Amino acid sequence: MSGLHATRPLSWRHRLLRGTLIALVMVFMAVLVLLPLAAVFIEALSKGVAAFMDVLAQPETVSSIKLTLLVAVLAVPLNLVFGVAAAWAMTRFEFRGKALLGAFIDLPFSVSPVVAGLVYVLLFGAQGWFGPWLSDHGVTIIFAVPGLVLATVFITLPFVARELISLMQAQGSEEEEAARTLGASGWQMFFRVTLPNIRWALLYGVLLCNARAMGEFGAVSVVSGHIRGLTTTMPLEVEMRYNEYDYMGAFAVASLLGLLALLTLVVKALLEWRYGDELAARATRGH
């Protein structure tokens, strides 16, 4: 019987195929991901560390960093709340239009960010549907921070919800039904049963949502108006510096975005390494 379970050694054809596939993947990643990322940092430091730090200390750069963080701080919690509510509704209730809600959640994945920005201009711009009413009441959305937040919320809408929906569907609702049978209220059930079961998937979705929010360009570019120091996030600052032939400055700001992306990947990898088995166990427990 032990012979039946013995691992059969790979033939030279299998080893060749495996080595070829791994080499192709590594070359692909090196050419399309690692090399461009390295070029960003090399160009950012091309004039020395002092020049690099001077760019980061300029008022325009500082303003773009603060605005990027502000937009992310406002947009990510909104999508966190929406993602939890949408996942709960999609996985715990049956209702008419459920499939349509799922399609709407995925809509930002299929709609161009530029189109999303234009839609908000159509709705809230000076000549838009609600523009005159907003202007009469002193409310400015387009070419201001609220417009940036709205566009970012739309683009990052699916990240938290989709991470939670798949996990909560796999887990099932048996534990929550048991808590309800024992007399737990809705909030007690959520905080003591549901949240502990989804916390790592929730954090994972928030990380992805935050990374996308800070790096968003298309929709934000349309609704920002490119008012330097007021509505230019870091991606827009990179574009403006590049168009002004300030290549070193553009790559310096871009390197910050690259560092944020790398930090997100590191945290994501640590979560998967530390809690990957726990997530898998919780997902399969529902079966």
Give the tens place of pLDDT for each residue, 188-206.
888 888 888 888 889 889 9
| Domain with 207 in it | 49-284
Write down the mean pLDDT value for the chain. Answer: 87
Mean local confidence (pLDDT), 133-151: 91
At 261 the pLDDT is 83
SS3 of residue 37 by DSSP: helix
Between the alpha carbon of residue 144 and those of residues 45, 211, 233, the distances in Å are: 33, 21, 11
CB 256 within 8 A of CB 56: yes
Number of Cβ within 10 Å of residue 160's Cβ equals 28
At 220 the pLDDT is 93
| Same-domain status, 251 and 192 | yes
How many Å apart are CA 80 and CA 201, to the nearest integer?
A: 11
| Same-domain status, 38 and 161 | no
**What's the structural domain count of the chain?**
2
The pLDDT tens digits of the residues spanning 2-25 come to 445 555 666 777 888 888 999 999
| Same-domain status, 31 and 152 | no
Token reading at 238: 């990179």
How many Å apart are CA 44 and CA 162, to the nearest integer?
A: 36
Token reading at 98: 């459920």
Predicted model pTM: 0.83
Mean local confidence (pLDDT), 150-173: 91
The pLDDT tens digits of the residues spanning 81-131 come to 999 999 999 988 888 888 899 999 999 998 999 999 999 999 998 888 998
User: Could you give the angle at the alpha carbon of 194 between the alpha carbons of 190 and 196, nearest 5°?
Assistant: 110
CB 159 within 8 A of CB 212: yes
| Same-domain status, 91 and 214 | yes
* Residue 2 counted as domain residue: no
Q: How many angstroms from the chain centroid is the CA of residue 216?
A: 9
pLDDT of residue 64 exceeding 90: yes
How many Å apart are CA 280 and CA 208, to the nearest integer?
A: 19
How many Å apart are CA 224 and CA 139, to the nearest integer?
A: 15
CB 67 within 8 A of CB 231: yes
CB 68 within 8 A of CB 214: yes
At 131 the pLDDT is 87
How many Å apart are CA 220 and CA 235, to the nearest integer?
A: 9
The rounded radius of gyration (Å) of the Cα atoms in the chain is 24
Instruction: Say how many Å lie between the first and final Cα of the chain, rounded.
Output: 30
pLDDT of residue 274 exceeding 80: no
SS3 of residue 23 by DSSP: helix
- Kindly give the residue spans of alpha helices, DSSP state H, lying in 93-194: 98-110, 113-124, 131-136, 145-155, 157-171, 174-181, 186-189
The pLDDT tens digits of the residues spanning 66-75 come to 999 999 999 9
| Same-domain status, 198 and 161 | yes
| Same-domain status, 17 and 105 | no
At 275 the pLDDT is 66
CB 145 within 8 A of CB 67: yes
| Same-domain status, 60 and 129 | yes
Mean local confidence (pLDDT), 39-51: 91
CATH number at residue 102: 1.10.3720.10
pLDDT confidence bin for 1, thresholds 50/70/90: very low
Which residue is associated with the tokens 């990052």? 156
The pLDDT tens digits of the residues spanning 220-260 come to 999 998 888 889 999 999 999 999 999 999 999 999 998 98
| Same-domain status, 95 and 219 | yes
CB 202 within 8 A of CB 164: yes
How many Å apart are CA 39 and CA 23, to the nearest integer?
A: 22
| Same-domain status, 158 and 96 | yes
At 222 the pLDDT is 93
